[in-house]
Chain A
Amino acid sequence: MRDPLNIEQTSRTPAVVFDYPNNHLKLSGESYPEDATEFYRPVFNALDEYLGSLGEGRCRFDFELIYLNSSSAKAVMMLMDKLEDAAKNGADVDVYWFYDNDDDTMQELGEEFGEELESAVFHLEKMAG
């Protein structure tokens, strides 16, 4: 069994927790890394590897982002493309987009991202608390 991916949150980068046994993947916090490509490369690789072996299995991906810059937004779209492709290939994929209650920007961004998903099921929800 592959090791779970666990990247701790910093002031500029989000926490990444890929809990493979429970098929629950999560990205949370703020995202404005100095080098977005460098930060997201291992995340993309891990997701590719995971989804490649998921087949028609079920998985859930949570986005709990408070702030993200343009580079990170592009990276998030790429993650969603990968999830959408997996769903097209038969996987049962749920994408959750959590936004802070007062944050219209993140809510609208989530709505727009959700419009791109056809096979994966998109859920737009307020953050708890």
Chain B
Amino acid sequence: MPSDDLFAAEGKVIVEAQKLLDDGRFADIGDRTLYEGLLKDYQKLLRTTRRLMRLSDRNEEQLNALSKEQKEANTVIAKHNKELDALATKLSKYLSPQIYHSIFTGAQNVEIASSRKKLTIFFSDIMNFTETTDRLESEDLTNLLNRYLTEMTNIALEYGATIDKYIGDAIMVFFGDPQSKGVKEDACACVRMALAMLRRLSELHTEWLELGATEPFHLRMGINTGYVTVGNFGGDERMDYTIIGSCVNATARLEFHADTDSILIGHETYALVKDEVDVEEREPIKVKGFAEPVRCYKVLGLYEDLEREGSVIREEQDGFKLLLDLKKRERAEAIEALQAIIERLKQ
């Protein structure tokens, strides 16, 4: 309907009113003047109403256009956000989940910065990996290595490790940053993780042989606790969140000296985990940067596991602590020693 039609009735009123004036129907000049004034005001009011209605319609039109633009902009933003999410998900696979989380939540700035912390560090390496896989096709080698790294990574994450890097088949992780449950708990978690990895490796042996490896893989693992510098290292264009320090080098050396499929830990780690982990002291090893040879221990297992197997007896109460390692002492000797203690107690 044209806008004029909306005011057809008002237009008709004006025409008729004007006709009354033109016909000279007002004998009294005062009445005529009053009527003329009323008609003029009515005409003006009608013009005002038309203008306001037109303005209101235009404003509404503009608002609708803006609303449409806003919706389109929201669609574009949503699309970009989706692309960014997909990109972030891809990027996250290049970072340790803890590091990714702390960067994306803003808890950590992406800048060249570092701090000094006491961490427990872990190194593992597949012995003779290159020789063992030399005759494998590239695709098979890739599948095999990725399968191994995926399995080990899952275990590391399950125990709360921060994955520092993969160097070929070698894995470097640490505990205590960016999240820490305390130095002692971090060290225990690291040893538990290493033992879990060894268990999983033995399960993977069969699978690997079927894939074409000529012989089973074997691991060496090193664990050490100490102060390191942790943070972002590199340049503005490319940086790594990693750790540096002599303790890191010492851990690599411990790993190098570990027996096949075993874990070698440094003295500080041992001091933290000795209530939970059974060990056997080994010959100290020389490490560059350390004046004295580094004391080290081979992990034999968790006491709780050894207790279940029956090779260890543990009893701990307030003011009473007993640990009997039946791998290291004959059962008869142990009984004799305990009886001697009982005799002393009786006196």
A interface residues, Cβ below 8 angstroms from B: 67-70, 73-74, 77, 105, 109, 112, 116
Contact = CB atoms under 8 A, between A and B. Distances in A.
A67 B58 CA distance: 11
Contact of B52 (A67, A74, A105, A116): A74
B56 interface: yes
Contacts of A69: 56, 59
A29 to B, nearest CB: 16
Interface in B218-241: none
A18 to B, nearest CB: 25
A112 B58 contact: no
A124 to B, nearest CB: 15
Interface in B286-315: none
Contact of B58 (A74, A77, A105, A116): A105
Contacts of B47: 112, 116
A109 B54 CA distance: 9
A69 B55 CA distance: 8
A112 B59 contact: no
A105 B55 contact: yes
Nearest to B53: A70
Interface residues of B, number: 10
A46 to B, nearest CB: 23
B67 interface: no
B71 interface: no
Contacts of B55: 68, 70, 73, 105, 109
Contacts, number: 25
Contact of B44 (A68, A70, A105, A116): A116
Contacts of A67: 59
Nearest to B48: A77
Interface of B: 44, 47-48, 51-52, 55-56, 58-59, 62
24 contacts: A67-B59, A68-B55, A69-B56, A69-B59, A70-B52, A70-B55, A70-B56, A70-B59, A73-B51, A73-B52, A73-B55, A74-B48, A74-B52, A77-B48, A77-B51, A105-B55, A105-B58, A105-B59, A105-B62, A109-B51, A109-B55, A112-B47, A116-B44, A116-B47
A74 B55 CA distance: 11
Contacts of B51: 73, 77, 109, 112
Given A67-B59, A70-B52, A70-B56, 8 more contacts: A69-B59, A74-B52, A77-B48, A77-B51, A105-B55, A109-B51, A112-B51, A116-B47
A58 B225 CA distance: 89
A112 B51 CA distance: 8
A80 to B, nearest CB: 11
A21 B47 CA distance: 35
A116 to B, nearest CB: 7
Contacts of A70: 52, 55-56, 59
A77 to B, nearest CB: 6
Nearest to B61: A105
Contacts of B44: 116
Contacts of B48: 74, 77
Contacts of A116: 44, 47
A116 B48 CA distance: 10
A73 B55 CA distance: 8
Contacts of B52: 70, 73-74
Nearest to A77: B48
A114 B62 CA distance: 24
